[in-house]
Structures are given as structure tokens and as C-alpha cells.
Structure 1
Amino acid sequence: MIDIIMYIVLVIYIVFILQLIFGFGKVKTFVRTEEKPTTKFSIIVPFRNEEKNLQKLLKSISNLNYPKELFELIMVDDFSKDNSEKVYTKWRMENGLIETTLLENLRLSNSPKKDAISRAIPILKHEWIVTTDADCTVNKNWLLTLDNFIQKNNAEMVVGAVVYKTKNNWFHHFQQLDLLSLQGTTIGSFGIRKPFICNGANFAYTKKLFNEIGGFGGNNKIASGDDVFLLQKAIKNHSDKVHYLKNIDTIVTTKPENDLYKLFMQRVRWASKTSSYSGIYSKILAVVVLLMNVSLVLGFGMRVLDTSAALSVTIKWETLVIVFLIKYAIDYILLFKSNVYLRNGKFLLPIASSLIYPIFCSSVGIYSLFGSFSWKGRKFNK
């Protein structure tokens, strides 16, 4: 009976992943042309205790291949306790041609990042808002390509990709594979016209659209989701104006975590918003993915206990092996496609990570339903 249930879950899982694989191919790579830049951008960067990372982000913004008069930078300090402000001030003195403003966050909700963005929006001088994170670096043609895309499309919200800059260790590669799966899901969902996920580290939208859909209203009690919930509200009201920009010059690079606890808390923070998704498709997909991974973990546990005669319920080793291998194969196709785009097809053979991932995914998914999480030195309840 358990074997049959696992096969049923696997079949449903395959259907969803094949949809995403098909959708990934439907999103075509955007080719930038030589139009004169016209779009004016306001870049918003919320930060908290980021003195180790800010310098790299700010340097990448200094190197943007975009007219200085066409963008401004708004930094929002979320009550940092380190030297982040000094790093920014030093950079500001060395880059006088870039219009920039430093604000202090104003906490009005349970979401510091939403508060930070909301704090900045009323003072913005330009129509297009672009958000990224303090631990990121941006490509020199980031805004140039985004402007070109906006000129050629009826867009008021544009989603872009994020990838890790990893060191040569397994823990970083494990995170990269996890992020590749999320990015593949993002692109695939746009391809089948059911987008529901994005990353605020590479996200752009107009003030007009932000105000029309009520900004972050309705989900301020949720600590995370400044990106996903805004996307879902835009899809519900103006789906024709929401686009995915697939071009290597717009990929934003960020840093992986260096210890397991921080990684677990980060993923719990991301997963905690899943139950508040507005679309049926996204909720079903989340449940199917969780069930697939939990079934593998429970199946393995039952098999081990049954071998020791501690449990009467049986499941065949053959079933576990077959289900895992088929899941691995279907996952690999989506990961491979993401890897070709995001990492230029660098070597990818995630056998060890795929063995551990069901345990990690199950732990994060189940814990996020009930547990609290910490983020930037603060604790947030479910």
C-alpha cells in the first residue's frame, strides 16, 4: 500500500516538474539592442549589519554602464549596529556623480524589508523602482538591459534571476543547487503563464503599478514576501504587464550562507510565506514537492526500522530506489536547464546533494508550518 502511495505521489510530481521544464523552454532569451537609454530608475537597497558586503554592492553600482542622470540610489538602514553607514558614507564621498540618499527605516509592520521599501517609495524621483539586496553585486549592463527590455515590452513589472557566487566547497554547491531549482521554477512558471515566485534581489516595477495594487497591503503581518506577494497581486490584476527578463547581463550575484543554522533559518523564512500564496497552482505545487520529499524520507525510515523488526509496515527497497532515481532524473533536467542559463553550463552532477535534499526540504517545510525563525538578529513568529 505504501509503495502504491509513493508511486502516485511520484506521478503527480513528474507532471508538475515536466510542466516547469516545458515552461522554461517557452521563455526566450532577450537580446539587447542599441537603443538610447531612456528609463529612469530608483534603486532601493534595504540593509542591516552589512558592512562586510556593502562595499562590493556599491562598487558594482558605481560601475554600471548607464547614464548617471538616469538613476538614483536609495539606501535604507534597518537599524544597523555595525559600520555599514560608514562604508556607505565613504563610498558616497568617492562617487559624487551618483545621486543617492540614506534613510533610516521606520518600523510599521512585522516586515522590516517591506517597511524599508515603503519608507523609500514616497521620496523617489523616478517612476521605475528596482530592488536588490546589500549582499549582492550587479552586472555592469544590468540597468541598460532592463531599460532596453522595458522599451520593447509593455511591462510594468520585471522579474530577473539571482545566482550564488560560491567557493569550492560542497556546502556552497548544495545551496547553489537549491537556488537553481527555485530559479528554474520561477522561469518555468512564467513559461506556462502561472508565475508565482520571484526574488527581491532582482525585481523591478513601476510606482504606478505598486500603488494600483495597494503595495504591500494585506500581507504586512508576514515577515517575508516583499517580492512574492507583490508579484502575485500584480498577476491577479495586471498579468499582461508582468514579465520575466531572461538575459545573462541581468543576473544578480549574491552570497551563500556559511553555516547550516543560518541556511536553515533563511529557507524557513522563505518557506513560511508559502501557506499565504494566493494562487491554487502555487499551493498545490508546494504541497506536491513537500509530499515527494517527505515520502522518500519516511519511506527510508520505515525500511530501516522494518529491517530491524521494529515496525510491521513494509516498503520495498526497490520502490525507494526506483522513486529516487526517477525523481533525480526529472529534477536533473530542470537543474540542467537552469545551470546552462545561470552558470553557463558549468559542471553539474548533484548526486550527494540529491540524497540529502529530501531530508533538508522536509525539515524546512514542516518546521516552517509551525516554528519561528531568526533573521538579521531578530526573531519572527509564524
Structure 2
Amino acid sequence: MIFICFGISLLYVLVMASFILGFDRVKTFQLSHLKPKTHFSIIIAFRNEEKRLPPLLESIVNLNYPNDHFEIIFVDDESNDTSVQLVRSMLANNRHLNVTLIKNIRSSNSPKKDAISLGISEAQYDWIVTTDADCVLPKYWLESFDEFIQKRLPDFIAAPITYVNCHGFLQNFQLLDVLSLQGATIGGFGIRKPFLCNGANLAYKKELFKTLNGFQGNKEIASGDDVFLLEKATKLNANKVHYLKCQDAVVATSALTSWSELVEQRVRWAAKTNTYKNWFGKLVGLIVLSLNALLISCVLLVIIGIMAPLHLLIIFLVKFSIDFLLIFKTANFFNQKNHLKHYYISSFLYPFFSVIIIFLTVFKGFKWKDRSYKK
């Protein structure tokens, strides 16, 4: 039993150490303010986001990029609040911007994929950029993508996201979780095994989307508009798939305000993982889950006297330390080291949280935007 415990722990350390090394291999991209060349079509799908849309709309107005070099396509996914009116008000007050509002056309089990596909079919420019309606865009967002495209000539770009204005333990718990995911995302790109990205900050060529047949093959899965496309793009040509590690490209969003919302969100995220085709991503998920489940099992074994407390302590400290190194690097990049004080309690809670999420994923569906989805 002890050999199994330490074997799983060793595998975990090797995976996390590779992400830590990979994180440093992805060099931070600095803007040099080149003359803008790239034209972008920004696609934003939304449903009932009246509370979150105003900050996004304001950030769009404040983008530092030539107005004739980008368009924004809002795709309304059957909103029944004032979201549509907010977008129309933006249209009326900012006629210098090229903004289009269209209604989503459902054709699959994934409204968001339908919305993005529809937006791409309406896009007039060669580069597609996606973000979410609950995000705030940085001033030099498009300039960051443009310079990266000019210098690196990619076909697919993943970019950073984080939570801001986090208060209290719940929101800081989510922030630390997202920082760990961002660290693993960047680390995966650094070791040339990309397996994660986020559709809230993603860019790719329209021609690439067509070559990959869009979301064909995973339309029946409600979410995953980002990772499934990453898998396809990497399989086609991994050398054209890059990560934009640039502080001027960081998209900000807000953490959830209740545990029930968080559980629903994480169940939705977990529900798509068994359909991933990336073997490395599946292996990482299996190792991470195994160690978290192992820690809980070891607690029970210590309680009933089968395992020595020292062995449990060693396994926990190994995970605690290697996780902290990756999260520290990520927090440093995002200038969020002041939130690390919540890591200590979070590190105790997370194994239980992650195992509960997997358990719920197996036995229940989830709700997303007031719609129910079965597993």
C-alpha cells in the first residue's frame, strides 16, 4: 500500500514539475507597439447577462486598436432580460464601432457552439477572437494578438484569463484553482503538449476553423468549445498552436458567489473530460484525481489505524509544496501574489472538493444558463 501511495505521489510530482519547467519556457511577450495589421472579428455569445454586460461593453469601447481593424458580433442566445437592450444601446451610442447583433440559431445540444459557429459564418475578417459576456477586456488586448501574429505567425492562440475583485474564502478558493489551471495550461504549452485553453480568451484563423470542420464531432457536448478545437488544431499542426503569455492580454472575469454555482460550473467542466482525445490531458487528469482520492483514502486509513500519520503527512506535504510552486509562478505573472495567503486552507479542502465533483459528474447532470443537461 505504501509503495502505491508513494508511486502515485511520484507521478504527480513529475507532472507538476514538468508544468513548472514548461511555464518558464513560455517567454513573456512584451508589446513593442508595431503598426497594427491584423483585422479581427470578435464573437461574443450571451444569454441573460444584464448584470455583467456593462463592464464588458465599456472595455470594448476603450480598446486601443483602430476601429476599422475589428468588428464585434454579439450573438443573443434567447435572452429574456435586458441584455439585448444593453447591446442595442451600445450600438446607438458608439456608431464609430462596427458592432452587429444577431440571434442564435440552435442546431445542436451546445447553444454556445451554435452561437460561435453562426458568428463565424457572419464574420468578415480572417481572424476570429472569442470572449465571454462576463469578461472585461484589457486596453491593449487586440494589439497584443496583432503583434504576436506579426512576430510568430500562428494559426491558433490561447491567451490568459483570471478572476479579479476576489473577496472572502469562496472567491479566493476559485481564484487559486484558476491560477493552478492557468499554470498547467501555460506549462503544457511550454513542454509542447498543450491540453488546456479558455474560450474567454482565444483567437484562431477563420480558415483553420473551416479546415477543422468547426465543432463537428463534439456538438452534442454542451461545453468544450475551446479545448476540443485546441485538440483538433494541435493534431493538424502543433507548430502553429501557441500561447500568448502577455500581461497586456489578460482577460478578467469574476468568481462565482455561491458554492452551489461553483459546483454546477465544475461539474459542467468535468462532464466533458471523458470525451477528450488528447491522451496527455487524460493522463494528467487521471494522475491528479488519483492523488486527491489517495489523500482522502489515507485520511480514513489513518483514522482506522492502518496507515501511520507520518506517511499521510509526507504525501500531503509533497502535494502541498509542488502545487504551491506552480501557483506561485502563475500568481506572480498575474500580479496576484497577495491572494496566496488563502492557499493553506484551500490545499486542505481541494482534495475533498475535487473528488466530490467527480462523484457528482458520474451520477448527475448540470445546469448552465438556466438550461438542464444530462450527463
User: TM-score normalized by structure 2?
Assistant: 0.98
Q: Which one is further off, 91-100 or 225-234?
A: 91-100
Equivalent runs, 1:30-109 vs 2, <5 Å: 30-109=29-108
State percent identity of aligned pairs. 45
Q: Secondary structure at the match of 2:340?
A: coil
Q: Which residue of 1 aligns with 2:353?
A: 360
Structure 2 unaligned runs (5+)? none
Q: Which residue of 2 aligns with 1:285?
A: 284
Q: Secondary structure at the match of 2:30?
A: coil
Q: Which residue of 1 aligns with 2:198?
A: 199
Letter in 2 for 1:157: F
Offset at residue 347 of structure 1 (A): 4.7
CA deviations 1:286-339 (Å, max 9, x no partner) are: 0000010011112213333x16xxxxxx12211111111110000000000100
Structure 2 residue corresponding to 1:379, chosen from 367, 372, 375: 372
Q: Which residue of 2 aligns with 1:246?
A: 245
Q: Which residue of 1 aligns with 2:325?
A: 333
Q: Secondary structure at the match of 1:132?
A: strand
Q: Which one is further off, 112-121 or 339-348?
A: 339-348
Q: Which residue of 2 aligns with 1:316?
A: 308
Q: Which residue of 2 aligns with 1:343?
A: 335
Letter in 1 for 2:29: F
Counterpart CA distance in 2 for 1:107 and 1:135 is 22
CA deviations 1:153-201 (Å, max 9, x no partner) are: 1211111000001332111100000000100000000000000110000
Report whether the alignment pairs 1:224 with 2:223.
Answer: yes
Q: Which residue of 2 aligns with 1:140?
A: 139
Q: Secondary structure at the match of 1:348?
A: helix
Letter in 1 for 2:280: Y
Report whether the alignment pairs 1:161 with 2:154.
Answer: no
Q: Secondary structure at the match of 1:52?
A: coil
Letter in 1 for 2:105: L
Q: Which residue of 2 aligns with 1:311?
A: none
Q: Secondary structure at the match of 2:128?
A: strand
CA deviations 1:207-261 (Å, max 9, x no partner) are: 1100111110001111110000000100000211111001100000001100001
Residue pair 1:166, 1:173 contacting (<8 A) in 2 also: no
Q: Which residue of 1 aligns with 2:20?
A: 21
Residue pair 2:166, 2:175 contacting (<8 A) in 1 also: no
Residue pair 1:110, 1:221 contacting (<8 A) in 2 also: yes
Residue pair 1:166, 1:176 contacting (<8 A) in 2 also: no
Counterpart CA distance in 1 for 2:250 and 2:363 is 34
Q: Secondary structure at the match of 1:29?
A: coil
Letter in 1 for 2:293: V
Letter in 2 for 1:292: L
Q: Which residue of 2 aligns with 1:110?
A: 109
Q: Which residue of 2 aligns with 1:179?
A: 178
Counterpart CA distance in 1 for 2:336 and 2:266 is 25
Letter in 1 for 2:196: I
How many residues are matched?
A: 374
Q: Secondary structure at the match of 1:76?
A: strand
Letter in 1 for 2:134: D
Letter in 2 for 1:235: T
Q: Which one is further off, 146-155 or 360-369?
A: 360-369
Letter in 2 for 1:351: Y
Letter in 2 for 1:256: A
Q: Which residue of 2 aligns with 1:149?
A: 148
Residue pair 1:57, 1:138 contacting (<8 A) in 2 also: yes
Q: Which one is further off, 182-191 or 120-129?
A: 120-129
Counterpart CA distance in 1 for 2:187 and 2:80 is 40
Counterpart CA distance in 1 for 2:186 and 2:257 is 27
Report whether the alignment pairs 1:268 with 2:261.
Answer: no
Structure 1 unaligned runs (5+)? 308-313
Offset at residue 344 of structure 1 (A): 5.0
Residue pair 2:33, 2:143 contacting (<8 A) in 1 also: no
